Chain A
């Protein structure tokens, strides 16, 4: 019975899930969380750079969503709406964190980073090399994103990691479409320069 319900929910569109939630179906909300949790967490992690903070903010996003989903009128798609909530949460959290760090007179050498993908102990066995390479590539992505400006990071995360189209990005960031296009070009150029400086042009071609 439960499997049947899950199968039904899996096939439902976002709009149908929202309608079910408005009708009091808590399972519908649970399914929305499952559908979007990777995307929201990924956005928060790439935006904020710290795993623990990203997890906390991503949870906050869904709690905010739960509180306000009943008011969702479908003027934009659910995904755009969720991304907008997530982006606002990330913007606020990042500003708040940077302000706190400033207030705390953080040493010039910067904070302790825990934003790189979790390091794994050296292991042997099949797949170890691939995993190591994957971790190195993820660490590289992390470092490169940290090195570029926040404005550029925003568009890159939304376009190249979250795979949103220009129209959605414009809606989420409240920018004209042309601005998204030009900003994305500058952001990618900056990111490519950072990568080139870090690992050399040949290694970028993974």
Chain B
């Protein structure tokens, strides 16, 4: 074997990464050519030195320090991911959403659907007018467990009891509890509905309240002093067409009423921005729309899009806040538009330049 050819294969030979034929050829060349043998021995000695003395142990207390740092984090598996369990390893978010949507629909419409069952109670006196039970009541067992008398829903009616029993026989075990205790079903559904309505009712105030709460808890940390910064002068630079990165100049985020381009220079700045976005229900995404974590950005792949859901009343303070993290260009800002909804999507195109 030619010496140059063999020399270039020495490293792969040490790792056993050549074909059997090549391994044999290089071995023969090493044996026959003293210069090649010397080069091989030198290379092997260097590799041995690294393998013996390269690995290091983590310092004492490292594990404890990590666990302390993650203790306060709310991140980790979401309730949906926990629900999905091992399925979370597969791209089944769509399925997960469908399952949850179906569950919500079932909870909301369970009562009325039961009422449509001719055997389970639409004609039962008092069922439709039954007031919703409290959360605590909904959580306790139904009449079969001895609560029926307390609610006064047993009606002391043998006819109703027989009717209900018949329903049990015909509808099978799946609807056993519902048919034997339509009140509980109705009550639970109304309670869930109430909870859902309550959530919807609070949604408009949630972002503002969350920001206020976070401002009090973590002043100067993740949340800027919005009110103070809102009064700061904002200098807007309109980029030329050439300045707009092709990867980010189009796509879904281009439709956002507020789009900025940020060039953070410190890893911490990027982490703070993403932490804020996540707290406000947004996040960081690749140009293809996949969720990203700050560590995924490198010099080679330094584009990302951060989406923030900001209360409309605080939009003016976004740009000054971004300026604290690095260079900012306002790509698009519909400042004169009225925003009927409380929350406005702000897109921040991140061009990470560590």
State the A residues within 8 Å of B (CB).
Answer: 15, 18-19, 21-24, 29-30, 33-34, 37-42, 45-46, 51, 55, 58-64, 66-74, 85, 88-89, 91-93, 95-96, 99, 134, 137-138, 140-141, 144, 156-157, 159-163, 166, 174, 181-182, 184-185, 188-189, 191-192, 195-196, 201, 204-206
B335, CB-defined interface residue at 8 Å: no
Give bound CA distance, A71 to B330, whole Å: 32
Contact B63 A34 (CB under 8 A): yes
Give bound CA distance, A163 to B47, whole Å: 11
What are 27 pairs between A and B in contact, CB < 8 Å?
Answer: A22-B88, A23-B85, A29-B76, A33-B66, A38-B56, A38-B58, A42-B56, A42-B58, A45-B56, A51-B59, A59-B66, A62-B66, A69-B77, A92-B299, A96-B266, A96-B267, A99-B265, A134-B53, A141-B53, A157-B54, A181-B17, A185-B8, A185-B9, A185-B12, A188-B47, A192-B43, A204-B49
Give bound CA distance, A27 to B218, whole Å: 28
**Of B12, B59, B75, which one neighbours A66 at CB under 8 angstroms?**
B75
Contacts of A206 in B (CB 8 A): 45, 48-49, 52
Chain B interface, >50% SS class? helix
Contacts of A92 in B (CB 8 A): 267, 295, 297-299, 354
Within 8 A of A (CB), among B289-325: 291, 293-300
Contacts of B88 in A (CB 8 A): 22, 70, 73
Contact B293 A141 (CB under 8 A): no
Contact B59 A41 (CB under 8 A): yes
In the assembled complex, the CB of A158 is this many whole angstroms from the nearest CB of chain B, namely 11
Contact A188 B43 (CB under 8 A): yes
Q: Identify the 6 closest CB pairs spanning chains A and B, nearest first.
A: A161-B54, A185-B11, A70-B77, A160-B50, A41-B58, A67-B75
The closest CB in chain B to the CB of A133 belongs to B53
**Of B43, B81, B266, B295, which one neighbours A85 at CB under 8 angstroms?**
B295
**Of B56, B63, B77, which one neighbours A24 at CB under 8 angstroms?**
B77
Contacts of B82 in A (CB 8 A): 22-24
Contacts of A201 in B (CB 8 A): 42
Q: A41-B62, A59-B62, A181-B17 known; A189 and B43 CB under 8 Å? A: yes
Known contacts A30-B67, A99-B265, A161-B50; 16 further A-B pairs (Cβ under 8 A)? A18-B89, A22-B84, A24-B82, A30-B63, A34-B63, A37-B66, A38-B55, A38-B57, A41-B59, A64-B293, A67-B75, A92-B267, A160-B50, A184-B11, A184-B15, A188-B47
In the assembled complex, the CB of B75 is this many whole angstroms from the nearest CB of chain A, namely 4
Contact A160 B47 (CB under 8 A): yes
Question: What 1/0 mask marks residues of chain B from 85 to 119 whose CB sits below 8 Å from any chain A CB?
Answer: 11011110000000000000000000000000000
Contact A70 B76 (CB under 8 A): yes
B41, CB-defined interface residue at 8 Å: yes
Contact B55 A55 (CB under 8 A): no
Contacts of A73 in B (CB 8 A): 88-91
The closest CB in chain B to the CB of A39 belongs to B55
B73, CB-defined interface residue at 8 Å: yes
Contacts of A71 in B (CB 8 A): 81, 291
In the assembled complex, the CB of A77 is this many whole angstroms from the nearest CB of chain B, namely 12
B10, CB-defined interface residue at 8 Å: yes
The closest CB in chain A to the CB of B50 belongs to A160
Q: A95-B299, A96-B266 known; A63 and B73 CB under 8 Å? A: yes
B136, CB-defined interface residue at 8 Å: no
**Of B10, B56, B76, B295, which one neighbours A46 at CB under 8 angstroms?**
B56
Contacts of A21 in B (CB 8 A): 76-77
Contact A141 B42 (CB under 8 A): no
In the assembled complex, the CB of A69 is this many whole angstroms from the nearest CB of chain B, namely 7
**Of B46, B267, B291, which one neighbours A191 at CB under 8 angstroms?**
B46
**Of A24, A33, A192, which one neighbours B42 at CB under 8 angstroms?**
A192
Contact A63 B15 (CB under 8 A): no
Contacts of A63 in B (CB 8 A): 66, 69-70, 73
Contacts of A22 in B (CB 8 A): 77, 81-82, 84-86, 88
Give bound CA distance, A18 to B90, whole Å: 13
Give bound CA distance, A118 to B8, whole Å: 37
Q: A22-B77, A64-B295, A166-B17 known; A192 and B51 CB under 8 Å? A: no
**Of A23, A68, A137, A204, which one neighbours B293 at CB under 8 angstroms?**
A68
Give bound CA distance, A24 to B300, whole Å: 35
Contact A188 B11 (CB under 8 A): yes
Contact B89 A42 (CB under 8 A): no
Give bound CA distance, A189 to B51, whole Å: 16
Give bound CA distance, A68 to B284, whole Å: 12
B173, CB-defined interface residue at 8 Å: no
Contacts of B47 in A (CB 8 A): 160, 188
Contact B298 A62 (CB under 8 A): no
Contacts of B76 in A (CB 8 A): 21, 29, 66-67, 69-70
